[in-house]
Amino acid sequence: MTMPITEIRIENAEWAHARPRLSVLIPTYRDDPTALLKALDDPGAGAEVIVLDDGSGDDVLAERIARRINTSRIPARFIRLSSNEGRAKGRNRLAGHARGGHFLFLDSDMLPDTHNFLSRWLAVAESDAPVAFGGFTLDQTPRRPETALHRTMALKSDCTPAPDRAKAPEKHVFTSNLLVRRDVFETIGFDEGFSGWGWEDVEWAMRVARRHPILHIDNTASHLGLDSASVMAAKYEQSAANFARVVTAHRDIVSAYPSYKVASALKNVPLSGVWRPVLKRLALAEAAPLSLRAFAMRLYRASLYSEAV
């Protein structure tokens, strides 16, 4: 029998009497969010911060987070779960703790690129925007050989300015730096049928875009937590089932994406059991040129997705 997930809550002295306009929601699973919490510690911002440890089981990290929460100058709550709940459920749980009129979802491995990051988000919230995405960069991300492939691919496809993102607004929505008005999220939460990594944020944006405009602005944060090539491949393998879930629900939208079109083309290529492992080996080959590895990794991902189109 599966034991129910329990939560432990810790709040700082500022929490009880605060009336925040903005709730900053930070899920974490074995990533240290204390640098982000320090960067957000602006008592004049009218914000609260809520951190969720999604069942990491790391007592040392939990103690570090709790100390940071207790010394924060802004209202802050730390929630620690007994078991992992997952990306969609965890974010829905975070929203249930929020008291602000807008929610700002930030990943724990992000770091604001400007000193007025929160005040700029508050200005967007005061304009009553239903949904807005601020974008992300690698401006503060350390350069490491083991994450060079992820850096190359992210710079090409993810680190894009607002005008480019706005051309396909739902496609370029990630929970790494996402503002949502309370009533929108209370009506349209994350689909808890997703499991593991990938696509739950884009699928959420597809449902939102049918009812609300999605604003794209340049209020960026740096993504510090780039992955090694082997971790990237494992995440893509894990995300194939989630991609299939998106195709089932939103084929009319996703069929216009390049990833879907390439997957459709690869679906008819015979002997995938032979050439698919070759693509993976090439993507993981550190001696190969980065451009070739990135091309191989994108094809490998599309070959995994080809079974869903």
Say yes or no: 223 and 238 in one domain. Answer: no
Q: How much is the average pLDDT of 14-34?
A: 95
The domain total for the chain is 2
Q: How much is the average pLDDT of 16-26?
A: 96
pLDDT at 243 over 70: yes
* CA–CA distance, 301 with 232 (Å, rounded to integer): 10
pTM recorded for the entire structure = 0.94
The pLDDT of residue 2 is 61
* Structural domain span for residue 285: 232-308
pLDDT in tens, 202-219: 999 999 999 999 999 999
Say yes or no: 185 and 41 in one domain. Answer: yes
The β-bridge relationship of strands 7-11 and 76-81 is: antiparallel
pLDDT at 1 over 60: no
Point out the domain boundary residue: 227, 243, 267.
227
* CA–CA distance, 224 with 215 (Å, rounded to integer): 24
Note the residue count of the chain: 309
Q: Which of 3-12, 65-74, 152-161, 257-266 has the lowest mean pLDDT?
A: 3-12
Inside any domain, residue 297: yes
The pLDDT of residue 4 is 78
Q: What is the CATH number of the domain that holds 64?
A: 3.90.550.10
Kindly indicate the confidence band of residue 273, based on its pLDDT and cuts at 50, 70 and 90. confident
pLDDT at 234 over 90: yes
